[in-house]
Amino acid sequence: MQQTATLVWFRQDLRIGDNPALSHAAARGDLLPIYIYDDTHPQRWAPGAASRWWLHHSLSALNQSLQQQLRLFQGDPLQLIPQLLKQTGIQRVVWNRCYEPWQIARDQALKALLHSLGIEVVSFNASLLWEPWEVSKRDGTPYKVFTPYYRNGCRQRPPPRYPLARPPMMSYVESAPSGSLWPDPAQLSAKSFSTEPFNTEPFSTTPWHREIAASWTPGEAGAAANLQTFMRDAIQHYDTDRDRPDRAGTSRLSPHLHFGELSPHQAWYVAQNPLQPVAPETGRERFLAELVWREFSYYLLYHWPTLPTDNFQAKFDRFAWQDKPALLTAWQRGQTGFPIIDAGMRELWQTGYMHNRVRMLVGSFLVKNLLIDWRAGAAWFWDTLLDADLASNSASWQWVAGSGADAAPYFRIFNPVTQGQKFDPEGYYVKRFCPELAKLPAKYIHSPWLAPDAIRQAAGVTLDETYPAPIVDLKHSRQQALAAFARLKQPA
Ligand code: FAD
């Protein structure tokens, strides 16, 4: 019997610092750190291809920090954990909480099972600044609108807890069973994770993951480096530059936060006390508010568990989304003929990331100009984003579609030309991801079809040969969308 040892179940907390479950266990004795790739739960959201790539590298990094002691399993935690406890004689299990509805149900069932076996179970909050059940309106119901949620809900509560230090010492259970699936984490990629995201022929000739690997460093050290760079170089101008895809104006912390390589508590307190004391309040405050947008997404998912599948506003169930596979494919591949949209979709494909402003533009374009269901867009993002997150992705898509809780009004239809001119005025972002347009002057970079023939010729651009002509008419599709949305206002 292992009286002082603890089984530490890592999930979306792939870090050593500010890890309450790990610290709790390390203070009590030896550790048996495990990760389970749970592919058994019927309601689970299987991670997309980009997420699997990240997970593989993040687990390798965590394993190094744990002196190669992380055990990796694949299967049902309700079977695997009791089995492991039996084999090792360990009497205590700890984990940090997850918030997807199926994870909550699974963890509750596991907790009940372990209690019935006389096992001590302790769970912690490691990935939200405030628990979703702690924040409610005066009448006890959940908030649906961000600003009162943030100002009257979160900011009126005690501040988030201060991040914990790394455990000063970690010792491990000797002769614990090795992971049944991946005894050697180096085999993760070869054995279990696809190296190409889709079964369809890759549209880029460069292997997909090579470019992603060049842009990102999964793991706790990569997260800390991004946070440090952001605090040093960008937080001063964050309030304005966060909308500029042509600048390095945001933190690029989203995948790190999703996989828990960094806690929001760490980001919150570093931002409150940045290395650059001159950082103006506006940049700092804006960054804190964005971290709370993440919280708000989790809050909505917790209180409305059907957020990923059902319109938050039921009247959208009557919306006549159109089934247009060819247009959906053009959107996915960055071949719509609207440079800012195409640059965004290609950024996503090539780097596993897309700038937030551009996410809003490509979302609005899909849903409002093409009238394609937001769920098709969310599914594509789910497979291709490294930061694919059930809460943030679902809440954001519903926001863009107008069907969400605190949604953009249906009549806000972004114009990809004027938005491009405003947020990428010189076209640097477009030129980076649509190099075939690189020689167009800035005046036409967001509307190549409007350039005089001679200018297009001089730039080597031939519509529908070197670059697509627009796949929809902006004015007409906007009117169609307004009419379709207006019909929702009529009684059913
Ligand atoms: P920063 O601007 O540096 O923000 C710091 C952190 O705040 C981010 O890392 C993120 O955790 C959080 N944050 C910022 N904006 C938002 C937001 N609008 N909603 C929720 N959290 C936010 N974010 C995801 O993490 N996963 C997703 O799957 C996802 N899908 C999206 C889909 C659509 C259609 C849209 C419009 C937005 C989506 N977002 C998603 C939100 C946002 O685009 C990204 O969090 C952000 O671009 C990440 O870049 P960053 O880390 O540099 O952000």
pLDDT in tens, 426-479: 999 999 999 999 999 999 999 999 999 999 999 999 999 999 999 999 999 999
19 is known as an active-site residue = no
Average pLDDT of the chain is 91
Centre of ligand 1 to C-alpha 210, Å, is 23
Q: Is 387 in the pocket of ligand 1 (CB under 6 A)?
A: yes
Mean pLDDT score, 175-193: 48
Supply φ then ψ for residue 449, to 5 degrees.
Answer: -70, -15
C-alpha angle 460-463-466 in degrees, rounded to nearest 5: 55
- Mean pLDDT lowest for which of 183-192, 251-260, 308-317? 183-192
Q: How confident is the model at residue 174 (pLDDT cuts 50, 70, 90)?
A: confident
Q: Tell me the pTM.
A: 0.95
Centre of ligand 1 to C-alpha 168, Å, is 33
Mind giving me the DSSP string for 41-67? -TT-----HHHHHHHHHHHHHHHHHTT
Percent of the chain past pLDDT 90, that is, above it, reads: 79
Q: Has residue 277 got a pLDDT over 60?
A: no
393 is known as an active-site residue = no
- What's residue 279's pLDDT? 56
- What's residue 212's pLDDT? 84
Q: H or E stretch including 7? A: strand 6-10
Q: Is 80 in the pocket of ligand 1 (CB under 6 A)?
A: no
45 is known as an active-site residue = no
Tens digits of residue pLDDT in 323-373: 999 999 999 999 999 999 999 999 999 999 999 999 999 999 999 999 999
Measuring from atom 45 of ligand 1, which residue has the nearest CA?
Answer: 254
Contact 421, 443 (CB under 8 A): no
Query: 42: which residues sit within 8 A by CB, 6+ positions away?
Result: none
Query: 265: which residues sit within 8 A by CB, 6+ positions away?
Result: 18, 129, 160, 161, 162, 163
